[in-house]
């Protein structure tokens, strides 16, 4: 299943910053991957996925990252045009 993520809207808050107000900062677009944001400080990524995909995933579930490597779901984020933000990280991080 090929999904076309979108960068519509402001850069999302880093997942860490969402839960720790003293570390509130925004993620940046990931070079070379349209529709993917990264927080280099916390090694977390985010992309927009359809609501159905987000509903089928829980924290800790396997998720294939933008570069094809193994990743792990961190959590769901805010609704965006085209779906829901999904935060994830590399499986070996």
Instruction: Give tens-digit pLDDT for 6-20.
Output: 455 678 888 876 676
Domain contains 23: yes
Domain contains 65: yes
Burial class (CB in 10 A: 0-12, 13-18, 19+), 52: exposed
pLDDT score, position 4: 47
In total, how many domains does the chain have? 1
| Domain extent for 19 | 15-90
Q: Are 42 and 16 in contact (CB under 8 A)?
A: yes
pLDDT score, position 92: 83
Enter the pTM of the model.
0.83
Domain contains 5: no
Domain contains 9: no
Domain contains 37: yes
Domain contains 40: yes
């Amino acid at each position: 299943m090929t999904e076309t993520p979108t960068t519509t809207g402001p850069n999302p808050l880093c997942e860490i910053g969402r839960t720790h107000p003293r570390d509130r900062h925004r993620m940046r677009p990931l070079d070379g991957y349209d529709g993917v944001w990264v927080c280099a400080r916390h090694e977390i990524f985010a992309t927009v996925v359809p609501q159905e995909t987000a509903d089928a995933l829980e924290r800790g579930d396997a998720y294939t990252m933008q570069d094809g490597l193994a990743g792990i779901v961190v959590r769901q984020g805010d609704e965006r045009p085209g779906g829901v933000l999904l935060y994830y990280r590399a499986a070996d991080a």
